[in-house]
Amino acid sequence: MSNIEHNDGRRSFMRTLGMMAGGAALLSTAPWLASCTGEKQAAIAGQQARIALIGTGSRGQYHLHNLKFIPHARVVALCDIYQPHLDEAHALFPEAKTYTDYRKMLEDPEIDGVIISTPLGTHARLTLDSLDAGKHVFCEKAMALTLDECKEVYDKYNSCDNVLYYCMQRMYDEKYVRGVKMINDGLIGDVVGMRCYWFRNADWRRECPDPAFERLINWRLYRETSGGLMTELASHQLEVCSWVTGKMPSKIMGMGDIIHWKQDAREVYDTVNVVYKYSDGRTISYESLISNKFNGMEDQILGSKGTMNLATGLYYLENDDTRSGIKQLLSSVQESVFSAIPAAGPSWRPETADAYVPHSILEGVTHVNHGQSTVGVDHDGSEDILSAFCQSCITGERAVNVVEEAYSATALCLLGNLAMETGTTIDFPEEYKIRYMKF
């Protein structure tokens, strides 16, 4: 794909957002997009943010590849304590300075913004140090490994003028933005529940050529550096649920264990089931495991009049007259769905999910992340939120609610882990509530 094609595909939604019919309504659904509309993109034409990256592993290099296609970004510095990864990243941007000590890198006044793509256990410290150094910050999810760290980062953000982003890419994914707008407009009726899951079949372990680097390379497997499936996967999906409802659950309960990957001394669960309950009785049912990939990944918002599957970009209506009963019967015969044709009845719609007619949230091609990549995929919003950060490094404009959404999602993930570890129902702690949250 050429640079022009990539940029046109990435920017088409953002570029026209402020001008398209219904654009203002979409901005009310996702107010964080207001800082990077087409008009504001045009205002920074010819300018570039000077970007540094801390953490040059697979996700860091994923960001580097996206940065190549962002015209208002220039990579000027790279930092990692693992030399092989640093060398690979430097090959992508040979003009960038390289560092093994991030504190030395932060002393460089020629750096505007820092991208942090390191193990979760380091997120809080690196973010705080970068903000203290006067840098704008873009950090991978989740916000931090503990609730105390989350609160420290949040308080720091509110006491400084720096820009801070977290890579909650669904907030910048067009199918999610438009889907949430449809939900807010009542398309699927009252939201009565949410069901999210993420299934893979892989051990999550990466090859480690030197045992001395085991806990660095396989940091996701150890509790001192990782929150496991909750922070690595559920953080995205739980953010969507709080975005849709505009509220936070008040109670959390769950179960988790190491069911399949028992032989490699990992410490985090490979299977989790967590239920989040709102004060009005609604629930989020969350499930994830990494020993079976049959179901893939879905973010289902369940309404009294239909279901919105934001992950696939499709919605289904409970009473859908799109196809008549006879058309459904003929289609069923042709596709050999039924082994026998019913002889009578008021409708040919059986009581199964197969009977629902899928409707697309977007016109044209919908890019779907099936959840199997452990690094990242194209067109999932990651490019857009990274571009928005680089733009904010130039303008100094903060994106509305991005930090608050990241804080809320991370808190839910960490409380889910606590509920599983203690085997108790957790009430959302008062000391970690922020003004943004509604219960």
Query: Order of strands across the sheet with 136-139?
Result: 97-99, 73-79, 49-54, 113-116, 136-139, 164-166
Comparing CA positions, the residue from 133, 418, 189, 144 lying closest to residue 318 is 189
The predicted model scores a pTM of 0.91
pLDDT at 15 over 90: no
Instruction: Let me know: does 79 contact 105? Beta carbons within 8 Å.
Output: yes
pLDDT band, residue 353 (cuts 50/70/90): low
CA gap 213, 203 in Å, rounded? 18
Phi, psi of 256 (to 5 degrees): -150, 160
Residue 21 confidence (pLDDT): 54
Residue 374 confidence (pLDDT): 73
For the segment 158-174, the average pLDDT, to the nearest whole number, is: 97
Of the listed ranges 6-15, 113-122, 283-292, the least confidently predicted one is 6-15
pLDDT band, residue 348 (cuts 50/70/90): very low
What is the residue-averaged pLDDT of the chain? 90
Instruction: Give the up-direction half-sphere exposure of residue 402: CA atoms within 13 A in the CB hemisphere.
Output: 29
Instruction: Let me know: does 73 contact 96? Beta carbons within 8 Å.
Output: no
Q: What percent of the chain has pLDDT over 70?
A: 88
Residue 344 confidence (pLDDT): 36
pLDDT band, residue 375 (cuts 50/70/90): confident
What is the three-class DSSP state of 82?
coil
pLDDT band, residue 341 (cuts 50/70/90): very low
pLDDT at 266 over 50: yes
Please report, for residues 12, 221, 402, 418, the alpha-carbon distance to residue 226 in angstroms, rounded to integers and kept in the order given.
36, 7, 22, 13
pLDDT at 270 over 70: yes
What is the three-class DSSP state of 359?
strand
CA gap 79, 59 in Å, rounded? 14
CA gap 299, 103 in Å, rounded? 39
Task: Output the 3-class SS for 367-382.
Answer: CCCCCCCCCCCCCCCH
pLDDT at 335 over 60: no
Residue 321 confidence (pLDDT): 82
Comparing CA positions, the residue from 233, 293, 266, 282 lying closest to residue 416 is 233
Residue 439 confidence (pLDDT): 98
User: Which helix (H) or strand (E) element contains residue 197?
Assistant: strand 191-199
Residue type, 73: A
For the segment 271-295, the average pLDDT, to the nearest whole number, is: 98
Of the listed ranges 144-148, 366-370, 388-392, the least confidently predicted one is 366-370
Top pLDDT among 349 and 321 is at 321
Domains of the chain: 3-171+380-397 (3.40.50.720), 175-378+405-432 (3.30.360.10)
Q: What is the DSSP string of 391-420?
A: HHHHH-PPPTTHHHHHHHHHHHHHHHHHHH
Residue 20 confidence (pLDDT): 57
Which residues, listed in sequence order, are joined to residue 99 by a DSSP beta bridge? 79
Task: Tally Cβ neighbours within 10 Å of residue 418.
Answer: 16
CA gap 260, 256 in Å, rounded? 12
Residue type, 191: V
Instruction: Give the up-direction half-sphere exposure of residue 201: CA atoms within 13 A in the CB hemisphere.
Output: 5
pLDDT at 1 over 50: no
What is the three-class DSSP state of 389?
helix
How many residues are given for the chain? 439
- Please report which residue ranges of 200-314 form alpha helices under DSSP H: 214-217, 228-229, 235-245
Q: What is the pLDDT of residues 79-96, one digit of tens each?
A: 999 999 999 999 999 999
- Please report which residue ranges of 44-173 form alpha helices under DSSP H: 58-67, 83-92, 102-106, 123-132, 147-159
For the segment 387-408, the average pLDDT, to the nearest whole number, is: 97
